[in-house]
Amino acid sequence: MTTAAVPILEADGMSVRYGPQWILRDVSFRVEAGECLGLVGPSGTGKSALLRHLLALEQTAGGHLSLFGRRIDGPDDPVLHLLRRRIGILFQGGALFSALDVLENVALPPRAMHLPTDWANAMARVALSEAGLDPIVTGHKKPAELSGGMATRAALARAIVLGPELLVLDEPTQGLDPPVARAFVTALRELRHRSSSTVLLVTHDLETLRALADRIAVLGEGKLLTIGTPDEVTRYDHPVVHDYFQGWRTLA
């Protein structure tokens, strides 16, 4: 990685505001090609809201966003139509469509690109296998028939079905039992190994963070408190950061 490389994502002084309420101010950071950047912070600090802004799903209240080296003017920027195909998103809670079966859910992104159904379904089967699900066993189940771990894998399959250069994961292990969460993290590590994609990972779970993140950004008090390697960030002298990473060193 050289400093001259174009970052996959760059936030420059971005702010998040809903009506009169400022959630985050002046957030600047980059996601470099090939890295896994962990985004953490106490519940309600604005991690999910920031992700929506970083994906240009919502209008920033200030600053600039670039994706793949292209400056984005806002949610209506016509270039987004093409750039979004290069980004896979696993939303908090999975967000599978309950009326569709698993295969149909995973086939949605290629269908949205007007690929033929057979082709989209074939891509969906590959993605399900990559996410650790047997397409024959799970493809025709409805989301409600899946365990938490399987639903998360199905959501991962949908996020990777187009072979994204940037994979965005919002609390992927939330609500999973520790062994299931661990198995999911292992699957993610293997996936990264195979595809060398760039990952932006929001998580509460220190174990997940420790297993995956090359760098960590910490949100708190309405701003980006610090960003750096796990070693740098966990030693950063700030009460919120200190509280957050208590227990980090005792992890295996």
Ligand X SMILES: Nc1ncnc2c1ncn2[C@@H]1O[C@H](COP(=O)(O)OP(=O)(O)O)[C@@H](O)[C@H]1O
Which parts of this chain interact with ligand X (CB under 6 A)?
Answer: 18, 23, 41, 43-49
Binding site for Mg ion (CB under 5 A): 47-48
Q: Based on CB atoms, which residue is closest to ligand X, 28 or 48?
A: 48
The answer to whether residues 12 and 66 touch, using CB atoms and an 8 Å cutoff, is yes
* Residue 2 touches which of Mg ion, ligand X, none (Cβ within 5-8 Å per kind): none
Q: Based on CB atoms, which residue is closest to ligand X, 16 or 146?
A: 16
Query: Least distance from C-beta 224 to ligand X, angstroms?
Result: 13
How far is Cα 67 from Cα 9, in angstroms, rounded to an integer? 5
* Residue 158 touches which of Mg ion, ligand X, none (Cβ within 5-8 Å per kind): none
**Torsion-angle region of residue 188: left (phi > 0), alpha (psi -120 to 50) or beta?**
alpha
- Give 143's DSSP letter: G
**One-letter amino acid of 220:** G
Q: Quick one: how far is CA 32 from the chain centroid?
A: 14
Query: Least distance from C-beta 160 to Mg ion, angstroms?
Result: 21
Q: What b/e string do you get for 184-201 counting C-beta neighbours within 10 Å, with b at 16 or more? A: bbebbeebbeeeebbbbb
* Residue 183 touches which of Mg ion, ligand X, none (Cβ within 5-8 Å per kind): none
Q: Based on CB atoms, which residue is closest to ligand X, 1 or 57?
A: 57
* Residue 135 touches which of ligand X, Mg ion, none (Cβ within 5-8 Å per kind): none
Query: Least distance from C-beta 27 to ligand X, angstroms?
Result: 12
Query: Least distance from C-beta 170 to Mg ion, angstroms?
Result: 6
Q: Based on CB atoms, which residue is closest to ligand X, 50 or 133?
A: 50
Q: Which two tokens stand for residue 109?
A: 């992104």
Query: Least distance from C-beta 35 to ligand X, angstroms?
Result: 21
* Residue 143 touches which of ligand X, Mg ion, none (Cβ within 5-8 Å per kind): none
CB neighbours of 1 closer than 8 A, spacing ≥ 6? Answer: 32, 33, 34, 35
Q: Which two tokens stand for residue 187?
A: 């699957």
Beta bridge partners of 201: 38, 169
- Give 150's DSSP letter: H
Q: Based on CB atoms, which residue is closest to Mg ion, 39 or 107?
A: 39
Q: Based on CB atoms, which residue is closest to Mg ion, 48 or 195?
A: 48
